[in-house]
Amino acid sequence: MKLKKILILSFCSTFALKCFSQADVKKAFSFSEKQTELMFQEVAKSKTSASKPGLVSPRSLNSEGELILVSPNDWCSGFFPGELWFLYEYSKDRKWLDQAKKFTTNIEGEKTNGGTHDMGFKIYCSVGNGYRLTRDEHYKEVIIESAKTLSTRFNPAVGCIKSWDRRKEWQFPVIIDNMMNLELLFAATNLTGDSSFYKIAVTHANTTLKNHFRADNSSYHVIDYDPETGKVLHKQTHQGFSDESSWARGQAWGLYGYTMCYRETGDKKYLEEAEKIAAYILKNPALPADMVPFWDYNVANKPGELRDASAAAITASALFELGTYSKNGKSYKHAADKILTSLENHYQAAPGGSKGFLLLHSTGHKPAKSEIDVPISYADYYYLEALLRKNRLKNGQPVTLK
């Protein structure tokens, strides 16, 4: 898809100073509800025509514009159920509750899948939101069981949860994305009083803090460890432009992850790290004026390179929360406002189009030529989360979705 023409505006322009208003939030949610109604129809049609059984959640569109559905074990399976919980939270409409429960049920079996680190993305984004909004004891049990399963991937010698299995090029790979799955472990301690989950999460966060970040506060994507000694074997940026480049979504994962870790622990070093990452992103000369980054910060001056709306959506959501903890809170919230304004005005799908997805122009895995300039479910998920957080701020409510 060809990127819509985006106005190049300075930070002193009217666009940059515009506050994302309550009316903008309402408009964005109205659009999202209509698109999601369309998505239900497209999912039903795709399931009917699909030759592969067990597909449950929309992930993206293929090169022909056809809907891609994934099975529960796909790392993106929990995002669409989470979006439905967000729509229910905003609207209080029972129809979204019923659909959220339906799509969440499809993911619950992943609670015992120990072959992946993506338990937080799959379970916490779906079941976790369900428990937060309903306090259903069944959801609580699924969260706890999922945390137990995720904990089996923790290696004390390394001090981290292993990310990928069956990859010959690494012995014990840990990716920056894994910071996002720690929220599930913190939740399990809060629900059970068992501190073992908390200790694993903190140890992983500390090890990542020590080894993943460069002097300029950007992060590598993958750190490979010796599973016996914990020694760092190799540092690289697998989904970025080069090993020493700054993959945009990876920076967003780090920002969100350390903001969340500060919320759960009160440890100032996590707040300081989140602020450092925020500074790297927001003061980066490679960040376009519309606040939606190129897929890697090191390709900004290369012709024909693409944006990543998913990185922008994740960053906006994280900045709204970070803004409630930091002395720089006003500037962080203002930056998040600008991102939402840009996403709503220039990156939304056409009403009734894109099979019901919300945002266009995300980049999944550019080096692998996978999901290039397409809508992706996690972009939509964090966009809706950012909208909810903005709405809470406007209403004088805590921005944390707990």
Give the position of tokens 């024909």: 304
Cα separation values, 320 from 60, 230, 278, 307, 315, Å: 26, 35, 12, 22, 9
Written in H, E and C, the secondary structure of 164-199 is: CCCCCCCCCEEEHHHHHHHHHHHHHHHHHCCHHHHH
Q: How far apart are CA 341 and CA 88, in angstroms?
A: 23
- Nearest to 343, CA basis, from 310, 374, 367: 310
Q: Would you say 253 is a known binding-site residue? A: yes
Q: How far apart are CA 188 and CA 195, in angstroms?
A: 9
Q: Would you say 389 is a known binding-site residue? A: no
Q: Would you say 208 is a known binding-site residue? A: no
CB-CB neighbours of 341 under 10 Å: 20
Q: How far apart are CA 361 and CA 110, in angstroms?
A: 29
Q: Would you say 249 is a known binding-site residue? A: yes
Q: Using alpha carbons only, how large is the chain's radius of gyration in Å?
A: 20
| Catalytically active residues, by annotation | 118, 177
Q: Residues comprising the binding site for substrate?
A: 118, 177, 237, 249, 253
Q: Which residue ranges make up the annotated binding site?
A: 118, 177, 237, 249, 253
